[in-house]
Amino acid sequence: MKFTLQHTDKLSNARAGLIETDHGPIETPIFMPVGTVGSVKAVHFRELKEEVKAQIILGNTYHLYLRPGIEILEKVGGLHKFNGWDRPILTDSGGFQVFSLSGNRKLTEEGAYFRSHIDGSKHLFTPEGVVDIERSIGADIMMALDECPPGTSDYSYAKKSLALTLRWLQRGWNRYKETEGKYGYYQSYFPIVQGCVYPDLRKESAKFVADLGADGNAIGGLAVGEPAEKMYEMIEIVNDILPQDKPRYLMGVGTPANILEAIERGVDMMDCVMPTRNGRNAMLFTKNGIMNMKNKKWADDFNPIEIDGAAEVDRLYTRAYLRHLFVSREILALQIASIHNLAFYLWLVQEARKHIQAGDFKAWKDEMMVRVTTRL
């Protein structure tokens, strides 16, 4: 994988770059739609390419390991062949999913024991085993196994958690370096910076991660309960240490405002379930604010969903019709809203890229922050 830093904003740390993978290029900053089980909920790949303009999607190691299973994925030649997506794929290691199981998992030095949410069967994720699983899934970018402590963790717990994560990371990195991909293309491995909301722990983790010299680096354990301002502080601390010439991936974040703030602080890659999950619950993100499509005010609004919207659905359907679909509990509503929100998120990061290149990112970002946080 190759990363080229193309432009840096003069008034902030915002960057525009290019990631080159064997499944195609990725222009940064980029938002990555979440395709947990190999599909982005309610959105066809044709729509992801043509309307959303997605350049890379995510899969999840925990879910794909349980279903359809590694044997099936190896038999077909990896996730790209299985689901038909021919652009880059990133896989989360499953650490966050195991963390979220709480009562059904146990963390040890060896790894994470957990019970399947599907049938209760018992499994073990080790740092080495997760590398092997991600090799079999065939992701272009693989994430390290880590523990993701809650944002409200006390210092003692956060310190112990980080120590375990760093020991796991070294083992996973060793496994990655001694193995190769199974399907004839290159796979990158991104370590993850943890440390909760404690500056000294974040600095320790970022230094350890930077010293590995991986193709790119991730920032995890944020947007998990801590205040937004604390999240932004941690991003700044970490990005002061992570290398300039490698892409930086902020995991699981977030709202349009979160994304703009992260870009301003030097983040290159982001993902979140929010555009699709909130879309399925009738919340639309637009260039002029947030819309609850179940509100009565849209019942006789025959304007397009979003005037000059990023997706074809914005022009095809009216606000009144989309509200009608939601209150009627029609499945089409979920599809339209998901496409719209994803297209808006991709539009937002692409506009950020244009303004970074043009040299006026900071002024544009400040204006957009007011617009995207308005309730319509």
Give the residue numbers marked as catalytic: 92, 271
Nearest to 249 by CA among 324, 165, 190: 190
Q: Which helix (H) or strand (E) holds 358?
A: helix 331-358
Instruction: Work out the angle at residue 313's Cα, subtended by the Cα atoms of residues 310 and 315, and round it to the nearest 5 degrees.
Output: 75
Pair type for strands 30-32 and 269-271: parallel
Beta bridge partners of 270: 31, 250
CA distances from 355 to 10, 127, 258, 344, 370 (A): 11, 40, 17, 16, 17
Indicate the residue type of 159: K
| Three-class secondary structure of residue 154 per DSSP | coil
Q: Which two tokens stand for residue 342?
A: 């994803």
The total number of residues written for the chain in this structure: 376
Instruction: Work out the angle at residue 356's Cα, subtended by the Cα atoms of residues 350 and 361, and round it to the nearest 5 degrees.
Output: 100
Residue 9 backbone dihedrals phi, psi, to 5 degrees? -65, 140
Indicate the residue type of 176: Y
| Three-class secondary structure of residue 109 per DSSP | coil
Burial class (CB in 10 A: 0-12, 13-18, 19+), 200: exposed
